[in-house]
Structure 1
Amino acid sequence: MNKVCVVMGVGPGNGEAFVRRFSDEGFQVAMVARSQDFLKKLEESVAGAHAFPCDMMESEQITTVFAAIESQLGPVSVVLYNAGGGVFKNVEEASLEDFESNWRINVQGLVAATKAALPQLRQHDTASIIITSASAATRGRANTAPFASAKAAQRSLAQSLARQLGPEKIHVATVVIDGVVDLPRTRQMLSDKPDDFFVKPSAVADAVWTLCQQDPSGWTFELDIRPFGETW
């Protein structure tokens, strides 16, 4: 049986790093995102990477794409839920639509992905669902009302999934990224910051790979990742 990993939310940064790391480990990697052009470029440059365009805001598309992945690559054993949008406003500035869109990408999308993936994950002796989270999941700052509330809901959902699926040897974990991810746009915005200020996507990918290798007797549920200089 092929080793198949699904990365949901693939863009420059963590998503691309996940694709490259799991490809290096011999996985067929299904790349799920809206940006078809970016996926096609990665597909051409990464062995075993396959583009599956999908809007994670649309649950029916998620169901359809998981069926296509199983048909083309085989049943998935790893789901990396890296999709997540953020609206950074306080409760007075944010619209109800801002709150809803944050919930749909961070919570509804994860629910739809889990429902679609479970029949495939259960075909393996062990499997993993790893969710990219943020420090906003545990603390709501004044100007993060839509994002923080959605990430907190996602964290509680992940806890529920971990408790339900753990006995089936399906490892559910969240990775809290507390820092600024090293991207061209963040480098440009924070051009005065040194290299060690930024979170390196390759380091995040290494940590996620390690989570997927843990023995069920010593699983991690929540892993914090931050540069040494980050205030926390």
Structure 2
Amino acid sequence: MTSTYIITGAGKGSGRFFAKTVAELGHDIALISRTASDLESLKIELQRINANIKISTHAFDLSDPLQTKKVFDVIHSVHDQTIKAVICFAGSWIKSKPIELLETSDFLEGLQSNFFCTFNTIKETIRISREALDGLVIITIGGTSSVWMNPEAPVMSVAKGAVSHYSRVLAKQLLSKGIHVAHLIIDGPILNERGLALNPDFQENEFIKPVSIAREIHHVINQSHDAWTFEWDIRPFTRHTKLI
């Protein structure tokens, strides 16, 4: 039976690239993003890669729990098969502020666009997979601030830290059900349009390539049940950091 991959944040960046690798492998895909035009253009690309897979697109805000529930009911009815994996790329960078200028609203924005998007995705994936949980893989995505707490990015440290901690709780809680939860920390700029714009002076070997990120995720998704990874971090060999 063909299995389905659910990919959030699929409209741009690493999520978009990862979707192409899933299409190449011949799996059906449910694509989620806030921007319908991004999803429609991606769907056309994926159909060119593999015309035999089923692709559904869902443009909405994952931080809204009621809307998320409705959309996942649609995903369940459209695909009506085993969910192989959900990969939570969705998230937004929140610009840093000096500590003395931070407001409650800053942290709420960070949590809504990062933690709650991931929380709602996982909750609804488990709900629609209730009869076929064994073998489900949940991949959450974080950055440098997920674990090490970046003093220059307090809002992101709290928001991404919440994703990391929740992933750890889920991994322990869901292990006995045969669900593999793993958290990927991307410690470095990514070689895509946004990464290049933010780091115009960087050389190519200072970036992480999207194909490398995709390869890492596929490796963990397909790990043997006797050797599951919970949390792993990747960075370019040129990365100058004090975090390791």
TM-score (norm 1): 0.94
Aligned to 1:57, the other structure's residue is in SS state: coil
Q: 8 Å contact 2:91–2:113 — kept in the other structure? A: yes
Aligned to 2:108, the other structure's residue is in SS state: helix
Deviation at 1:126, TM superposition (A): 0.6
Distance in 2 of aligned mates of 1:125 and 1:149 = 31
Q: 8 Å contact 2:19–2:29 — kept in the other structure? A: yes
Deviation at 1:74, TM superposition (A): 2.1
Match of 1:67 among 52, 55, 73: 73
Matched residue, 2:30: 30
Higher relative contact order (CA 8 A, sep 6+): 1
Matched residue, 2:84: 77
Superposition CA RMSD, Å: 1.5
Q: 8 Å contact 1:90–1:142 — kept in the other structure? A: no
Aligned to 1:79, the other structure's residue is in SS state: strand
Matched residue, 1:101: 109
The answer to whether structure 1 residue 201 and structure 2 residue 210 are counterparts is yes
Distance in 1 of aligned mates of 2:193 and 2:118 = 28
Q: 8 Å contact 1:82–1:131 — kept in the other structure? A: yes
Give the gaps of 5 or more residues in structure 2. Answer: 48-52
The answer to whether structure 1 residue 133 and structure 2 residue 142 are counterparts is yes
Match of 1:89 among 76, 79, 97: 97
Deviation at 1:185, TM superposition (A): 3.4
Distance in 2 of aligned mates of 1:52 and 1:11 = 10
The answer to whether structure 1 residue 17 and structure 2 residue 17 are counterparts is yes
Matched residue, 1:7: 7
Distance in 2 of aligned mates of 1:207 and 1:91 = 35
**Amino acid corresponding to residue 93 of structure 2 in structure 1:** G
The answer to whether structure 1 residue 231 and structure 2 residue 201 are counterparts is no
Aligned to 1:179, the other structure's residue is in SS state: coil
Deviation at 1:131, TM superposition (A): 0.6
Deviation at 1:2, TM superposition (A): 2.8
The answer to whether structure 1 residue 148 and structure 2 residue 157 are counterparts is yes
Deviation at 1:124, TM superposition (A): 4.8
Q: 8 Å contact 1:134–1:177 — kept in the other structure? A: yes
Distance in 2 of aligned mates of 1:125 and 1:215 = 13
Residues 57-91 of structure 1 show CA distances to partners (whole Å, capped at 9, x for unaligned) of 21111111111111111242211011111222233
Matched residue, 1:172: 181
Matched residue, 2:170: 161
Between the two proteins, what is the percent identity of the paired residues? 26
Aligned to 1:32, the other structure's residue is in SS state: strand
**Amino acid corresponding to residue 153 of structure 2 in structure 1:** T
Aligned to 1:217, the other structure's residue is in SS state: coil
Question: How many pairs align?
Answer: 232
Distance in 2 of aligned mates of 1:107 and 1:185 = 21
**Amino acid corresponding to residue 35 of structure 2 in structure 1:** S
